[in-house]
Amino acid sequence: MKLAYQGYDLTGKSANGIIDAPTRPDAADQLRKQGILATRIDELDAAITDIASGATAGVSFSRATKGSSRHLIELASFSRQLSILVGTKTPLVQAMAAVERQTADGPWREILAAVRLKVEEGRSLSEAMEEHPSFFSPVCRALVQAGEAGGTLDAMLRNLADLTRQQVHIRKSVVGALIYPVVLITVSFFVLIGLIAFVLPRFQELFKSLGAALPPSTEALITISTILRGYWWAILPALALSVFALFAAARSPAGTALIHRTALRLPRIGPIIASFCTARIARVLGVLLEAKVGMLDALRLTRQSVGNLSYVELLQAAEDRVARGENLSDTLRKPGLITPSVTEAVASGERTGQIGTVLIQVAASMDEDNELLIKTLTSLLEPLILTILGLLIGCVAIAMFMPLFDLTAAGAGGAQ
């Protein structure tokens, strides 16, 4: 069976991949013969689920502090300022102290102070960052380490700042596009609840005093209103528990996998999610390869920065196949996830030896297209939401006033 392993090689570097072995002890023996000390061996499906769960809390879609927009902005500012100071030959400790002084009091400044102290003690910047993984992602540390090894720390910090700022820009674009529809739906929901729970009971008393015959739609609304007013003490806790249960199920590995796979199959929405994930992969992988990070390490780090399980599985398989000598472009050919134009661009980059540059160009082009796509979708979504909500509120209003119309018509007929 296929087993996924994590461990260290003889040089102390991390090693991971997939191996065929009948049992875990057999896999450990095979790895030991290859000079790899395995610290963890799991069945492939379980390992992928764990990776997906970890990636969901990683760089792109983190629920922790490291994925918040505020922290990403702070990281981008820190990287940009430090790159300028390092580029002017300012000693690293002095440069970090200068950036620290310009940072407002708070957790981020405390982290910068702790990192600076470690650097003063003789640790490298990447090693100091490793002690704060919630603030400095593996991709961040890899870029810094590559800059330290190649003597291009200022350039790598600039790349990190650009990568982080682009991530913030994309997140703000998506959130900004969704704010108006969400506010519109929320306000309309409370308007409907107000009409049914508070306005309709007054009409109900009027209907009873007049002895009017109620149409089925009005009777249905009155029944809903009676239930809401009579059992609100049970409905509200039940709704709260239902929401909590849904969030708990969504955060579980199985729920996360279901949501990720379902999202990619949604009409209209699925292709947008796929495009954003592909652009993210292209940008991170391109930046890492341009920083002279090895292909396998770059794939592993990119996998950790993608939140969708389907793409985690794709990159895990790509890492395994590249380790066996296959071309990256061949490993990424999967319909529905990576478009043919992207794989062809990767193949072209492999032929010219400029795969990193090609991936960054692909990511830039896709980011522009995705931003335009979000704006177009939002412009189409807003009138659709307005129409649907208008129909709902209109139906409630008609159901409330229809008995009055009937009484008016009957009175007019009697007068004649």
CA distance 102 to 108: 12
Q: Burial letters for 136-165: b for 16+ Cβ neighbours within 10 Å, e otherwise?
A: bbbbbbbbbbbbbeeebbbbbbbbbbbbbb
The average confidence (pLDDT) of the chain is: 80
Q: According to the model, what pLDDT value does residue 22 have?
A: 77
CA distance 182 to 258: 24
Asked if 166 and 102 count as a contact pair (C-beta separation under 8 A), the reply is: no
Q: Burial letters for 304-318: b for 16+ Cβ neighbours within 10 Å, e otherwise?
A: bbbbbbbbbbbbbbb
Q: According to the model, what pLDDT value does residue 76 have?
A: 87
pLDDT at 411 over 80: no
CA distance 383 to 110: 47
pLDDT digits (tens, 9 = 90+) for 157-170: 888 888 888 888 88
Asked if 312 and 52 count as a contact pair (C-beta separation under 8 A), the reply is: yes
Give the 3-state secondary structure of residue 77: helix
Q: According to the model, what pLDDT value does residue 56 have?
A: 37
CA distance 141 to 151: 15
The separation between CA 33 and the C-alpha centre of its own chain, rounded to angstroms, equals 40
Asked if 5 and 19 count as a contact pair (C-beta separation under 8 A), the reply is: yes
The separation between CA 206 and the C-alpha centre of its own chain, rounded to angstroms, equals 52
Token pair, residue 102, equals 């310009």
Q: List the beta bridge partners of residue 15.
A: 7
Tell me phi and psi for residue 199, to 5 degrees: -80, -45
Q: According to the model, what pLDDT value does residue 69 have?
A: 72
The separation between CA 21 and the C-alpha centre of its own chain, rounded to angstroms, equals 35
pLDDT digits (tens, 9 = 90+) for 44-89: 444 444 433 443 333 333 333 334 677 888 888 888 888 888 888 8
Percent of the chain with pLDDT over 70: 85
Residues 6 or more apart in contact with residue 83 via CB below 8 angstroms: 153, 154, 155, 157, 158, 161
CA distance 349 to 341: 12
- Please indicate whether residue 90 or residue 8 has the higher confidence score (pLDDT): 90
Q: According to the model, what pLDDT value does residue 241 have?
A: 93
What is the mean predicted confidence (pLDDT) over 306-333? 87
Phi-psi region of 199 (alpha: psi -120 to 50; beta: other; left: phi over 0): alpha
Token pair, residue 128, equals 């100091």
Q: According to the model, what pLDDT value does residue 408 have?
A: 67
Phi-psi region of 308 (alpha: psi -120 to 50; beta: other; left: phi over 0): beta
| CATH 3.20.20.140 is right for the domain spanning 175-403 | no
Name the least confident of 16-30, 191-205, 331-345.
16-30
Q: Comparing 66-165 with 175-403, is the CATH topology the same? A: yes
CA distance 297 to 404: 73
CA distance 366 to 161: 19
- Please indicate whether residue 300 or residue 51 has the higher confidence score (pLDDT): 300
CA distance 266 to 406: 45
Q: List the beta bridge partners of residue 19.
A: 3
Question: What contacts 24+ positions apart, CB below 8 Å, involve 116-124?
Answer: 119/92, 119/93, 120/93, 124/148
Tell me phi and psi for residue 36, to 5 degrees: -120, 125
CA distance 292 to 298: 9
| CATH 1.10.150.120 is right for the domain spanning 66-165 | no
pLDDT confidence tier of residue 218, bands split at 50, 70 and 90: confident
The type of residue at 221 is L
CA distance 288 to 345: 17
Q: According to the model, what pLDDT value does residue 61 have?
A: 34
Token pair, residue 375, equals 């704006």
pLDDT at 268 over 90: no
pLDDT at 392 over 80: yes
pLDDT digits (tens, 9 = 90+) for 129-168: 888 888 888 888 888 888 887 788 888 888 888 888 888 8
What is the mean predicted confidence (pLDDT) over 271-289? 88
Tell me the pTM.
Answer: 0.68
Among the listed residues 305, 306, 300, the one whose alpha carbon sits nearest the alpha carbon of residue 260: 306
pLDDT digits (tens, 9 = 90+) for 1-36: 667 676 666 555 556 666 777 777 777 778 777 777
Query: How many angstroms separate the first and last alpha carbons of the chain?
Result: 89
Q: List the beta bridge partners of residue 20.
A: 2
Give the 3-state secondary structure of residue 331: helix
Report strand pairing: 36-43 vs 14-20: unpaired
Domain boundaries, the chain: 2-56, 66-165, 175-403
Q: How many C-beta atoms lie closer than 10 Å to residue 299's C-beta?
A: 24
